[in-house]
Every structure is written in structure tokens, then in C-alpha cells.
Structure 1
Amino acid sequence: MILHDAQKRLRQARPSDLEIEDVGLLAALGRVAACDIKSLIAIPPADNSAMDGFAVNAAEMREGSEYSISQRIAAGQAPTPLEEGTVARIFTGANMPDGADAVVIQEHCDYTENTVKINRSAEPGSNVRPLGQDIQIGAVVINKGQRLNSVDLSLLASIGVAEVPVYERLKVAIFSTGDELVEPGEPLQEGQIYNSNRALLTGLCRELGYEVIDCGIVKDTLEETKSALSNAAKCAHLILSSGGVSVGEEDYIKPAIEELGSLDMWRVQMKPGKPVAYGSIEGTRFLGLPGNPVSSFVVFQLLGVPLMQTLQKQNQSQPLTYMVEAGFDKKVTSREEYIRVKLVRRADGELVADRFKNLSSGILSSLSWADGLVRHEIGEKIERGMKVAYLPMTRSML
């Protein structure tokens, strides 16, 4: 596939030279682990009860018999060894006493404060969480390159980690090109439009955990484009631009990159998003996105994210793709196309992909409406009812 080849090329970029820093556990959310993290303790740290009930030696128990309760063990208390021929009242999460190997749940017992009648026997290990059942000492709980989510932080907390070694955040310099652009809040003059790509790309990068360097709007001249690129290369790991990558007389990204550095990829046979530029300036990677907001978004998701994860030294997994039923017809395409769709559920429960009514790359509202993209391969005709590849479209496609 065209996209697969482009993604593979971007993933071969050399990772950025990133510093490693130790941050507090709660500050590590969304950061990328800089090393494997191993557990120095076992979880659970001792055999403990999975239920409220009675800790017993299973071999001594007889169904229907009555036994003395020799101790009461709550979570957080240290038990004493179980006296022979007795049971211990025990609660969920409490450590098992030496000499006990099973828990009879309280629903299977008749009991008073001092005695219990066992109505149903238990096998050794019943209702017991064994030492190290979750995590063994020395087990790797977080892998180098793993982007940390809230569950990961909880896991680290469970093994007592207070500080986490992480890579510094990828610095992404963002600018938009175009004399027609003005920022929201300013009055529009004839022929001008508001700069929506700045908010789009800044938000996407921040959702992915990157540090954004806002370089504003660059006017359509070769000198200003070269100056913006050169300045951005001095302070960022990646330069991300929107607009100016087509073949018009007012598109200066390509000649500027060729003068300042190297252009490694120019245009991709995909829709939306054909005008794409990829290269480097003074050792800093550059990705030029189309100016149309939909094209910019799609290229960012499908090409920008793999590149940025590589530069951030983040482990990568292939985006999830599902086969769903097409709820529309589409003629044969000459470019690999990514169609904005929303999944709807028919009366029979089947999920069907319904496409947006207008597939123009300038229809920004379609991104707010859609929940995914359908891949339309070159030479393929889509007919209503056939199975198509659906890519879920979270706003940052993590």
C-alpha cells in the first residue's frame, strides 16, 4: 500500500537525541519511559485472602463440622500461625496465617464470634491469592519506550516507584504559511480566512504529549520561509508546517527545504493529502502538511504520528483496523483514499460505515462528524454492503 510504504520510510528516521530526566510518578502521565522498569517486590507480597471468610487447613476440614475461631485477621494486620484444629476469621486482602492453605467463604458457613460450622469444604488454594500472583520480583512491569497511561502509573505505584526515568518531551515547532491567514480574534479582510490549522496541530501534538513551539504565520515569500525554517531548526526536534507544499508559484516550502537541507520525500499518492514534504534542515526533521485542514489532519494522523513516535523513542504498534460493512458506493480511485465515515448500527445489530456527504478536503466539519476513516485502495470499487477496512479515528490516534 502507498501509505504503508510511506509510514515505513518515516519510521526509519533516526530517533532524536533526547535527554533523560527523572520525574515524579504523577508527572509521568503521557511521558515515554527511558528504560525498562523492574519490580523489586512481589505483588501480592504474601499469600492473602480473596474473600471474606475463614482461613483453614484444607486437610483438617470436615464438611458439617464445627471449629473454634482462634484469631481474627483484617487487611493490614500481621497474623500468627494457625493453631492446629482451628480456623481464623479473615477478611479480603488480609495475609494468610502460616498453616492455612484455603479460605472458606462466609456464605458457606454458620458462625458466631467464637465458633464456625463449615457447610462446604474447600480445596487447597481456594479463594487465596498466592504471593507474586500478579508480579514476581524482578519482573519487567514497564518497557523502555512505553508511553505511560494512568493504569501504568497505578502499576508503578503498586510496586513503590515514586520517580520515573523518562525521555524529555519531543519539541515540535509549528507554523502555518499563507498570506491569506489571520488568527481568530482579528478582523477578516477580503480574501482572508482564519488559521484553523494552528489550533488543530497544536492540540494534536499536546494530546500526544509533545512540547509545542508556536512559530505563528509565515508569509508567502522564499526568504521568510527560509528564515522560519532555519530558526525553527535551532530550537526543535521536528518542524511541522501546514500549507505551501503544493506546486503553485506561491508555494515556497520545497525550494526552501532544498536550499537549507535535504528533501527526502515529496508528495504521496494518497487522498486527501497528496502534497506532503519530508526532509531535514541542519539535522532537524521536517514534515510539511497540506494547507487544507482535512488533508492536514489525515496526513498528521497517518504519517506524522509514526514519525513523531520514532523521534520520541516511543514503542509503536500498528493502528487497529476493523472490517465493517460499507453503507455507500464509491467509484474506482486512482489514489489511495481515506474516506471520513461514521459507524451506525442497523436494526439487525450490524455496524455499517456511513460516509460524510461532502468529501472535499476543505470541509473541516466532516472531522468533527466522523469517528473513523475507510481505506479505499487504488483500483478498488466500493459497493454498498461489501466489507471495507475501517480505522478508528480518535482525535490523536494513540
Structure 2
Amino acid sequence: MNESLEHIASCISGYDPNALPVAQAQEFIARLVPRVQAVEMLPIRSALGRVLARDVMSTIDVPSHDNSAMDGFALRGMDLADEGPTLLPVAGTGLAGQQFSGAVPPGHCVRIMTGAVMPDGLDTVVPQEFTSAAGDGRVSIPHGIVRTGDNRRLRGEDLALGETALRAGRLLRPADLGMLASLGQAEVPVFRRLRVAFFSTGDELRSIGEPLAEGCVYDSNRYTIWAMLQRLGVDVIDLGVVRDDPAALREAFTQAAANADAVITSGGVSVGEADHTKRIMAELGEVLFWKIAMRPGRPMAIGRIGGERQAILFGLPGNPVAVMVTFYAFVRDALRCMSGATAEPLPLLQAACTTGLRKKAGRTEYQRGIVSRGDDGRWQVAITGSQGSGILRSMSEANGLVVLHHHQGHVAAGDLVDVLMFDGLV
């Protein structure tokens, strides 16, 4: 049975919906969101970006034999001379995929290629470029160029039989698909894709292609939300623009909750807005309305809507920049967790701020910045200019968000600040 929102709130120390710090809002959402349970088997070439549903155990040793890490000559470390060059007769050649046959006499070496199985008794490889021909079928190895055991890959050193190769909850990346292939695994169990429905609210909004009447604006939020969701690899349900009408809103919310695991709206959650969005949200589910101690993005709704099959609701502000900031502050990680992925906080880069910034302690601020290398080679960040929450151009020009934390005060020029980089994110 789901915990009530009131019970979750009671577990958050100092919870105040009218002045909620970002960290507390994130903690609340982490406690609220459920994880998908359905699992499907996919060919590994179709599994990139999907979430692993079960641990993958190695059924073999990788590599399956000791092998050479270099093109060169395999030898016994004990045959290396204590002083001066080592001269060894070459007993034959070992190729990748073709194990050297026969015994290697003491005091001999074998010409070997990268990946070839180490002949029995040999434990060291000297790279070819360090050797020279000494005549009479011998090779000369300079003193001190290798030590016993060098340039040999041990059986199972990558993965041993029975070892955990990949853990459940991992977002599968290119290297992981290679790992699965190295185990001979053609299919992998993954959680089903999360389904996310979204729409914009407001009588002033127009979709692209519609005439723009006086006082109206084109709806940009649907396109930024759509793009951000695409980066998360979820199934997207775009319900368009919904006018400020109770019947239309009720239908949109009902349809969204019936077909999706999560519902995202933009607009209609600010105090004093002359629309019906907040009332319909509350009628259709259990919803809290927050004033978060952050800038931009103060108003937000969170909760569950729908009948027996409930969806998680994220009601975001209407201003374009605030939509993106609240999405990355709260929604992105929540959707990752709902997809079954192990939580991974987004990494922050530290950069020197090129100008001073005024900052009021007691709230988290996100300022749009351009990160570059300074003349001294260190990372630096410059603010893009006007930081109004409706100036979407500032997000387009920026390559990161300067994160000024809750208890942080004014920033002086040259001070280090945390930056959330957009690369790979937006």
C-alpha cells in the first residue's frame, strides 16, 4: 500500500511546503516515487540506455587463458640475465586464436602476438620494439627492460567465473554491451520503458503553426520537455496544449494518468493564477503544492493522480527557464529511479566565477553560465546576462548551470562555484 503524502512529509525534518529547501524536496520525491517492476528480455544491441533488471553473473573466465598483452616475445622471467642483455633462441611463434603447440625448452622464448595464449611455463612478455635480432635464430633483450610477469594478462583478471559482471539498476552504456558480448550473452533482462505523459496549460498558449493572436505566445515548454524526456529514453505521450477549462483539464489528466507512469505539466501552479489546474489536480488525486526555496522555479506541485492505477504528478512552473531548472533539479532523477535505475547524483564541476554574484542565503539559485578555459588553463564560468525565468535564450546560450547552494551567500569574482554541465544532459 502506498504511503500517504502526509506520512512521507512527516518523515522529512522541518518540512514546510511554503518554504521547502531543494534538498528536502528531493528527499520527499525520492520517498514518493515507485519503481517499475515489469521485465523484458532484449538483444544486447537493443539494450543501450535501458536499465538492467537483474544482476548479470559471469559464466566464464574473461580472459579464458593467460595471454599476451603485447606483440613481442614470451619467456620465463627466471631466464632474464642479472647483468647485460639476455640472448634467447626463438622456439616458435604463438598467434592469437592458435595456441602454441609443444613444450618450450628452458632458456628459450616464443615469438607471440597480442591476445595469443601464453605457452605453458612462460610468464613474461617483452615488447617487440625493445628487442633486436642477435643472429642464429636468437633475440637480444636489453637488461632491465622487463620484470617477471610483465605484459601478461591473467586468466579471469577481467571477470572470474561466477563473479558479478553488472548489477541490477545499471543504465546500460556502450562498454556494458561489450562486457555482455565478452560473456557470450546475446540477451539481457531490462525493465520496461517508463511511460511519461505531458502537456502545457494556458489559454494564452498557441502551438506551432497556429496564428499568434495579440497577448498569446507560442508554447515552447512542450518542446523543451519533450527533448529532455528523449534524453532519458522513456516512452513519451504528448497531449499538447490544454486550455484553462475544467472539463478539458479533467479529461487530459484522466487520460494521462490512465496511460502513463508519470505526468508532467507546465503552468497553472503559481499562487493567484486565474486558472483551474490546481483545483483539478487536487480533485483527481493526492497532491501537494509547494513553494520551494529556489530561484528560478519556486512553485511546484507533486503527488499522485488517477484512479486504481495512479500516476506520479509533477506540476512545473510555466516560465520556460523555470521548467528546465525544476526538471533537472527534481524530475530527471525521479524518472531515473522510477525506471529502476540506481540513483546517481549529477556530477558538479568547480569553476572560477569571472564576476561577483549577489546571492541571498536560504535558497538555492541556478544561474545560466558559459564555462571555458581561462588563460591560466583553469575552468572559469561567466554568467550569460539577464537571469529572468522567462528568458529561454539564456539557457540556449549557456553550457551549464551555476548552482549556488541553499546556505551560500554572495560570490566574489574569482571564487569557485559549482556548475552543472549541460553536455550529455540537455
Q: Which residue number in structure 2 is paired with residue 350 of structure 1?
A: 378
Q: Does 1:7 align with 2:20?
A: no
Q: Which residue number in structure 2 is paired with residue 69 of structure 1?
A: 90
Q: Which residue number in structure 1 is paired with residue 149 of structure 2?
A: 125
Aligned mates of 1:267, 1:395 — CA distance in 2: 29
TM-fit CA distance, 1:252 = 2.3
Aligned mates of 2:183, 2:135 — CA distance in 1: 36
Measured at CA, do residues 250 and 81 of structure 1 come closer, stay the same or move farther in structure 2, by a change above 3 Å?
A: farther
Q: Does 1:82 align with 2:103?
A: yes
**TM score, norm. by length of structure 1:** 0.93
SS at match of 2:222: helix
Matching residue within 14, 18, 21 for 2:37: 18
Cα-to-partner distance string for 1:337-383 (whole Å, 9 max, x where unaligned) = 11111123332333322112111111111111112222233572222
5+ unaligned residues in a row in structure 2: which ranges?
A: 1-19
Aligned mates of 1:351, 1:226 — CA distance in 2: 49
Q: How many residues align?
A: 397
TM-fit CA distance, 1:281 = 0.8
Q: Does 1:168 align with 2:176?
A: no
Q: Which residue number in structure 2 is paired with residue 370 of structure 1?
A: 398
Q: Which residue number in structure 2 is paired with residue 33 of structure 1?
A: 52
Matching residue within 161, 175, 179 for 1:137: 161
Q: Which residue number in structure 2 is paired with residue 380 of structure 1?
A: 409
Q: Which moved more, 1:15-24 or 1:143-152?
A: 15-24
Contact 2:68/2:118 (8 A) holds in 1: yes
Measured at CA, do residues 197 and 149 of structure 1 come closer, stay the same or move farther in structure 2, by a change above 3 Å?
A: same
Contact 1:332/1:378 (8 A) holds in 2: no
Aligned mates of 2:232, 2:318 — CA distance in 1: 21
Matching residue within 303, 322, 325 for 2:330: 303
Contact 1:103/1:126 (8 A) holds in 2: yes
SS at match of 2:34: coil
Matching residue within 56, 61, 64 for 1:45: 64
Contact 1:356/1:366 (8 A) holds in 2: yes
Contact 2:232/2:336 (8 A) holds in 1: no
TM-fit CA distance, 1:249 = 4.2
SS at match of 2:237: strand
SS at match of 2:32: coil
Aligned mates of 2:378, 2:127 — CA distance in 1: 43
Q: Residue type matched to 2:329 in 1?
A: L
Alignment map for 1:174-185 (pairs within 5 Å): 174-185=198-209
Contact 2:60/2:162 (8 A) holds in 1: yes
Contact 1:325/1:385 (8 A) holds in 2: yes
TM-fit CA distance, 1:66 = 4.3
RMSD: 2.1
TM-fit CA distance, 1:109 = 2.9
Cα-to-partner distance string for 1:107-130 (whole Å, 9 max, x where unaligned) = 333338971233336533122111
Cα-to-partner distance string for 1:118-165 (whole Å, 9 max, x where unaligned) = 333653312211111222222212111111111211121122121010
Q: Which residue number in structure 2 is paired with residue 208 of structure 1?
A: 232
Aligned mates of 1:113, 1:93 — CA distance in 2: 27
Aligned mates of 1:241, 1:117 — CA distance in 2: 73
Matching residue within 113, 138, 144 for 1:116: 138
Measured at CA, do residues 65 and 124 of structure 1 come closer, stay the same or move farther in structure 2, by a change above 3 Å?
A: closer
Aligned mates of 1:215, 1:296 — CA distance in 2: 17
Q: Residue type matched to 1:25 in 2?
A: I
Aligned mates of 1:65, 1:293 — CA distance in 2: 71
Cα-to-partner distance string for 1:267-300 (whole Å, 9 max, x where unaligned) = 3121110121101013210001111110000000
Q: Which residue number in structure 2 is paired with residue 288 of structure 1?
A: 315
Alignment map for 1:241-256 (pairs within 5 Å): 241-256=265-280
Aligned mates of 2:55, 2:265 — CA distance in 1: 34
Q: Residue type matched to 2:42 in 1?
A: V
Q: Which residue number in structure 2 is paired with residue 313 of structure 1?
A: 340
Q: Which residue number in structure 1 is paired with residue 6 of structure 2?
A: none
Measured at CA, do residues 72 and 179 of structure 1 come closer, stay the same or move farther in structure 2, by a change above 3 Å?
A: same
Contact 1:246/1:290 (8 A) holds in 2: yes
Measured at CA, do residues 161 and 379 of structure 1 come closer, stay the same or move farther in structure 2, by a change above 3 Å?
A: closer
Q: Does 1:339 align with 2:367?
A: yes
Calculate percent identity across the aligned residue pairs.
36
Contact 1:272/1:294 (8 A) holds in 2: yes
Contact 1:221/1:250 (8 A) holds in 2: no
Q: Residue type matched to 2:300 in 1?
A: V
Aligned mates of 1:297, 1:173 — CA distance in 2: 16
Q: Which residue number in structure 2 is paired with residue 101 of structure 1?
A: 123
TM-fit CA distance, 1:29 = 0.5
Measured at CA, do residues 222 and 247 of structure 1 come closer, stay the same or move farther in structure 2, by a change above 3 Å?
A: farther
**TM score, norm. by length of structure 2:** 0.88
Aligned mates of 2:188, 2:376 — CA distance in 1: 49
Q: Does 1:91 align with 2:113?
A: yes
Q: Which moved more, 1:369-378 or 1:215-224?
A: 369-378
Q: Which residue number in structure 1 is paired with residue 294 of structure 2?
A: 270
Q: Which moved more, 1:59-68 or 1:40-49?
A: 59-68
SS at match of 1:309: helix
5+ unaligned residues in a row in structure 1: which ranges?
A: none
Q: Which moved more, 1:233-242 or 1:34-43?
A: 34-43
Aligned mates of 1:96, 1:379 — CA distance in 2: 59
Aligned mates of 1:340, 1:71 — CA distance in 2: 64
Contact 1:338/1:375 (8 A) holds in 2: yes
Contact 1:69/1:114 (8 A) holds in 2: no
TM-fit CA distance, 1:222 = 2.1
Q: Does 1:260 align with 2:284?
A: yes
Measured at CA, do residues 387 and 79 of structure 1 come closer, stay the same or move farther in structure 2, by a change above 3 Å?
A: same
